[in-house]
Amino acid sequence: MLVGVPREIKNHEYRVGLVPASVRELVVRGHRVIVQQGAGAAIGLADEDYVAAGAEIVAGAGEVFARGELIVKVKEPQPDECRQLRAGQVLFTYLHLAPDPAQAALLLASGVTAIAYETVTAAAGGLPLLAPMSEVAGRMAIQAGAACLEKPRGGSGVLLAGVPGVAPGKVVILGAGVVGYNAARMATGLGAEVTVLARSPESLRFIDQQFRGRVRTLRSTAETIEASVVDADLTVGAVLVAGATTPRLVRREVLQRMRPGSVLVDVSIDQGGCFETSHPTTHADPTFVVDGIVHYCVANMPGAVPRTSTFALNNATLPFVLALAEQGARKALASDPHFRAGLNVDRGRVTCRAVAEALDLPWTDPASALRDGG
């Protein structure tokens, strides 16, 4: 199979779909890989490294999309990229379609088979291709939030760690999944006072056991969310409903009861965000202020640490890329129900139920779509 890797073009996105070691794994199995010139340069992966691994370097993205049978990316295709996709081609990347009807329409029109990292499941539970970036984003959320609390950045001037004789900052984390757990690790490591809210008793029990009582846990309800957020210096939105639009847990009226200069970091923004006042921002312009509250809503947070993020992502995605190349997409997806859960769009049809419901579009069962071949 001919695998294509274009350079990412989203704002301040420096990750790359395949690292040279991943390319080598494909090449030794008899596959061909074309990589756009400079695709990994920003994270120290030179074109020469890819050539040494067996890749062919091509000058522009147009050639990658024109020749590639399987396109491996990191972030959702931008409109110009979507228009270069075609029927019979396979796209493997993060998609986050539920809050993005424009991208969904372009993918449906292209006829491409689009597999989303974020909805692939695992036999033991969880989302194995989302987890590495959730780990990164969870840890970054505390870094970003701590920086936003600094007065020159619009924050209240609170140091999360505190100092002897001065109380530490208060961190509230909405959600106890991978993002929430990693945010709690970072926040407790700094010495902040941390509260985690979640609906699942099992998740709260896990947090309590992992942190040995150092983290306060609360059942997530409208009352506990509002009371906790109003008292927080930093609130991290770490809620995820796989494939679906994130529920809005904090309404605008709550902001008026918060301390001016408090910070909201919405890690859920890729799926629409869990604060009513959230909208996506970029690394170039990461924050905005509503009612005196600083919002950090960067939609590709791990892109700020692209070298770490790229290698972590490749560790998770490579087995799936190899399966697609070795078996072809239809056989690989048909034979593995957990991989098949990643199929979001197939030849003009929405094959992820959560996406179809979010966008009010017809849903086609993915197993049926693979059987009839489109």
Active site residues: 96, 270
Under 8 Å between Cβ of 26 and 3: yes
CA distance 346 to 373: 9
Tokens of 40: 């990994």
Under 8 Å between Cβ of 319 and 313: no
Tell me which residue has tokens 């228009």. 83
- Identify the H or E element spanning 36: strand 32-36
CA distance 137 to 134: 5
Tokens of 216: 């306060």
CA distance 57 to 40: 11
DSSP single-letter state for residue 247: P
CA atoms within 13 A on the CB side of 104: 23
Compute the chain's Rg from CA coordinates: 21
> Interior CA angle at 347 toward 342 and 348, to 5°?
100
Alpha helices in 54-157 (DSSP H): 61-67, 79-82, 101-110, 131-148
CA distance 351 to 344: 5
DSSP state string for 308-328: HHHHHHHHHHHHHHHHHHHH-
Distances, alpha carbon 134 to alpha carbons 36, 37, 140, 325, in Å: 27, 29, 10, 26
DSSP state string for 38-72: TTTGGGT--HHHHHHHTPEEES-HHHHHHH-SEEE
CA distance 291 to 24: 52
DSSP single-letter state for residue 290: E
